[in-house]
Every structure is written in C-alpha cells, then in structure tokens.
Structure 1
Amino acid sequence: MDNVYALGRNHLFVPGPVNILEPVLRAMNRNNEDYGSPTVSAMTKVLLEDVKNIFKTATGTPFMISTTGTGAWESALTNTLSPGDRIVSFLIGQFSLLWIDQRQRVNFNVDVVESEWGQGANLDIQASKSVDATAHTIKAVCIVYNETATGVTNNLATVRKILDHYRHPTFFLVDGMSSICALDFRIDEWGVDVALTGSQKALSLPTGIGIACASPKALSCPFGTSSTPNPGYVSSI
C-alpha cells in the first residue's frame, strides 16, 4: 500500500512525493496572499535568490514553474533545443527511460547509451561520441544525476571534464529530481547548463512546482541559429 492512515495522518511510502515536514505544514497554515500586493513581488524576488543556493550558483537564473517533474523536463528541453536535434542520453533506470521517451515523442534525435540497471552511465561511450567535436552534431548531453529507481548516482564532474577535453560546446542538461538538496550539487563548478528538480522531492514541499536553473549559455541558446526553430510548441504528452 502506498498510504497508511494512522492518528489522522496520511503517511506516504513512495519515492516521491515525500512526507511534508511539520514546520512546512505549519507555515502553510495561513490565508492566501493578495497577488496584486507589492509584498508578493518582493517575496518572489527574495525566493528566487534563495533558490540559487540549492544549485550552488552565482551566475545561473532560476525558474519556478507550476508543473510536475515531467513538465520541468519538457521545459528544459524545448527552451534550449529544437526538433531533430541530436541528444546523447544515458539509460540506467526507469526515470531515465521516461525522460528518453519524452524526448523521442517531441521529435528529438535521441542517441541512447544503455547500461545495465544498477550501473552508472557509461562515460567511456560518451567520450567516444564526443570526438565529433569539429562537426558538433551533438546538441545536448542529458543525464539523470541520481536514478530514483536504482539509487545510482552519476559523476557529473567527470561528464564535464570529458566535454571540456574535446572542447565540445554541447548543452549539458541534468535531471536532479531526487538528488538536488539531497546530494551535493554544483551547477557552476560542474558546468551544467540546465538543472531541474521538483518541490515534492528533497525539498519536502507539496507537489506542483518544477524548479529549473539555467546557465548564461543556456539562456543565450547558441544552437538556436543553426537548428530548426520550435514555433508555438505544444506538448504531445
């Protein structure tokens, strides 16, 4: 059973959403804010600055979106890439599989690097694919930091070292759903272009907020001039 009812409380025993902490529940016990009040915009600015801390960034721009983790995935992809772009992705478990499926359904050219479930991403294969540095056919490398289904954590610093070694300008996109705030994460130091998480995971908040952080490079979308634009994108999911 997912839920056990005891003492009037609903206890969750699933990978996410997780149980909301008592201090958060108490903080939520208040009336709505007047969204037209200047205090709301002031609070939002402070909140977005605070969100930078969970990504350990001084240069990234955070975004908070009313969506699930799937929506955060979609936003990261469709705002940096265009249909037909080649993406290298690592299949190591159920959640990396779902992210790959999403990319294929929105017409990206997904180059899947598969490992046995319970193993980490095969970075030797990434290195072999990165030798196309002069052609720059790879527009993004997508990886799950911690695969929820297996508990395997990938080494993001090594991914960045491989890309830097081959001077590859590809975007580096990271799913940090079950890891950001639970594991050490350094978007600036590791050269991650877009990282994302959800309110219902390590932040222990209610479900419904997708949180992303984009590097200056991601915001500039350097591949946008050479790829087919994605006009009026409408999700097929």
Structure 2
Amino acid sequence: MDNVYAPGRNHLFVPGPVNIPEPVLRAMNRNNVDYGSPAVSAMTKVLLKDVKKIFKNTTRTPFMISTIGTGAWESALTNTLSPGDRIVSFLIGQFSLLWIDQRQHVNFNVDVVESEWGQGANLDILALKSVDATAHTIKAVCIVHNETTTGVNNNLATMRKILDHYRHPAFFLVDGMSSICALDFRIDEWGVEVALTGSQKALSLPTGIGIVCASPKALSCPFGTTSTPNPGYVSSI
C-alpha cells in the first residue's frame, strides 16, 4: 500500500484534531502498560484530579470516556435527561446545529433559538423563555461556548445570571469542545451542571477521549423515567 503521508511533518489544517506538539509526542513515546497494573489506577487517579483544573472545578466530578465529542454529548444528555424533555438550544453555527440534530434523534423536545451565524446566542430570548419558571417545562438549556465555525463565544456568566434571576431549575449544559483549556472557563463560578471537551482540541492530544464534568445536581437526577429511548437511533460515537 502506498504511503499516503508526504515526507516530513504532517500538518493538519482543520478545526480539530489539532497538530500535536513535539513535547506531547515525545511523552507518548513509551512502552505499553499492563492495564491491570497498580500503576494504571494510580495514573488515572492523578489524571482525574488534574483534569479538574482546566474546568476551574472544585465541586464537580470529572469523567474520561473513550469517545469523541459526539459521544461525550450523548453521555451528558442521556444521563441527566429523558427523551421527551424540553431543551432550549441555541443555533449559531455548524457545531451547534450538529448537537441540535443529535438531541432530536434521541427524541428530546428541542426548542431551537436561532441567531444569524456570526452572532452570539440571543440571551433576550432565554430571558423570555425563563418566565415559565413556575411551570418548569424547560428541563435544560444547552449551548456551545465557542462556535468553532464562526469564532463566536457566548457569555456563560450572563446565562447563569438570567437563570438565577428567574430562579429557573433547568440544567445548564455546555459544549466546551474548542473553549475549555483555550478560553477562560469557570464551571463552578458559572454554575454549569455539565460541561464537556475532547482530548483533540486545546489539550493537543490524540483524538479519542471525551472529558465530561458533572455537578452533584446532575449526578443525583432521576434520569430515564419519563419515556423510553428511540430504538432506531444509532450513535455516531
């Protein structure tokens, strides 16, 4: 089979995966380890402790999953919500569109708030929708922190203030795929219930690890009680 790579360094010119820095490549140049070895447990414990730092997290639980961004989002959604639940989601670019499509495939009731691409999320609409706080029909608010396709990032602190102002109990779920570890991200301070990122973005690692951070509220929710999943949905993990 012909070698598909040109001589020299192979450069990636895509939003992600990113080019892996030489120090990271050299750090990976080591022998395989027995997965049953105590060294693996010790290393995993250190990684889970250290990964909290990129979220500015002291109260939430991190998870490292063998998956890509799609799988991380699916895990965040299906472990906190039930099919049929109403979700407010902001459409501001291609990646936010993909996440909305996924939620619709899993049979969530997606209330799409669309803005012109190149603009941020319309938070005035969020304020209007939050007036329903007494009815609690909105179970979650989902947003992409940084929309890679347009380069627009959203003000998560303001979103949290709106939800708090109306005392809305909706889960606050954030896709931080291209923002966490690259932009300022404060999961505790901004009251984000679930946030996620991937190894192949700002962490500059190979593709394959989804990192999800969940609040005590998210971990204690009685998910999966309102209806059954769509048996025809095939995950793209």
Query: What TM-score results when the alignment is normalised by the length of structure 2?
Result: 0.93
The answer to whether the 8 A contact 1:2-1:13 is kept is no
Rounded Cα–Cα distance in structure 1 between residues aligned with 2:232 and 2:42: 31
CA distance in 1 between partners of 2:220 and 2:26 (Å): 40
The Cα offsets for residues 83-142 of structure 1, whole Å up to 9 and x where unpaired, read as 000000000000000000000001000000000000000000000000010110000000
Q: Using the alignment, how far apart are the partners of 1:6 and 1:207 within structure 2?
A: 21
Farther off after superposition, 28-37 or 94-103: 28-37
- Contact 2:198-2:211 within 8 A present in 1 as well: yes
1:105–1:236: 8 Å Cα contact kept in structure 2? no
Q: Encode CA deviations 1:161-189: one digit per residue, 9 max, x unaligned.
A: 00000001110000000000000000000
Contact 2:145–2:153 (8 Å) recurs in 1: yes
The percentage of aligned residue pairs carrying the same residue is: 91
1:13-59 per-position Cα deviation (integer Å, ceiling 9, x unaligned):
11000000111100111111111111110110111000000000101
Tell me how many residue pairs correspond in the alignment: 237
Provide closer, same or farther for how the CA distance between residues 155 and 41 of structure 1 changes in structure 2, counting only shifts above 3 A: same
| CA contact 2:173–2:194 (8 Å) conserved in 1 | yes
Q: What SS does the aligned partner of 2:178 have?
A: coil
Q: Tell me whether 1:215 sits opposite 2:215 in the alignment.
A: yes
Give how far 1:235 is off. Answer: 3.7
The question of whether the paired residues in 2 share the 8 Å contact of 1:73 and 1:196 is answered with yes
Larger deviation: 50-59 or 214-223?
A: 214-223
Per-residue deviation, 1:4: 11
Separation in structure 2 between the aligned mates of residue 232 and residue 24 of structure 1, nearest angstrom:
40
Contact 1:83–1:108 at 8 Å: present in 2 too?
yes
Q: Give the SS at the match of 1:3.
A: coil
In 2, Cα distance between equivalents of 1:157 and 1:146: 14
Change (3 A) 1:129 1:211: same
Contact 2:118 2:152 in 1 (8 A): yes
Q: 1:81 to 1:129 in 2, by over 3 A?
A: same
Matches of 1:45 and 1:115 in 2, distance apart?
A: 42
- The 3-state SS of whatever aligns with 1:6 is coil
SS at match of 1:7: coil
Give the C-alpha shift of residue 8 in structure 1: 1.8
Instruction: Report the CA distance shift for 1:223/1:71 in structure 2 as closer, same or farther (over 3 A).
Output: closer
Q: In 1, are the aligned partners of 2:71 and 2:236 still within 8 Å (CA)?
A: no
Q: In the alignment, what sits opposite 1:93?
A: 93
Unmatched tracts of structure 1, length 5 or more: none
- Asked if the contact 1:143/1:175 (under 8 Å) is kept, the reply is yes
Please report how far the alpha carbon of residue 224 of structure 1 lies from its aligned counterpart in structure 2 after TM superposition: 6.0
Structure 1 segments, 4+ long, off by >2 Å, are 1-7, 222-237
- Asked if the contact 2:82–2:225 (Cα under 8 Å) also holds between the matched residues in 1, the reply is no
Say if 1:38 and 1:209 are closer, same or farther in 2 by CA, change over 3 A. same
User: Equivalent residue of 1:24, what SS?
Assistant: helix
Partner Cα separation in structure 1 for residue 49 and residue 216 of structure 2: 16
Does structure 1 residue 124 correspond to structure 2 residue 124?
yes
TM-score, scaled to structure 1: 0.93
Give the direction of change, closer, same or farther, for the CA distance of 1:145–1:3 in structure 2 (3 Å limit): farther
Task: Answer yes or no: is the 8 Å Cα contact 2:52–2:62 preserved in 1.
Answer: yes
8 Å Cα contact 2:107/2:230 also seen in 1: no
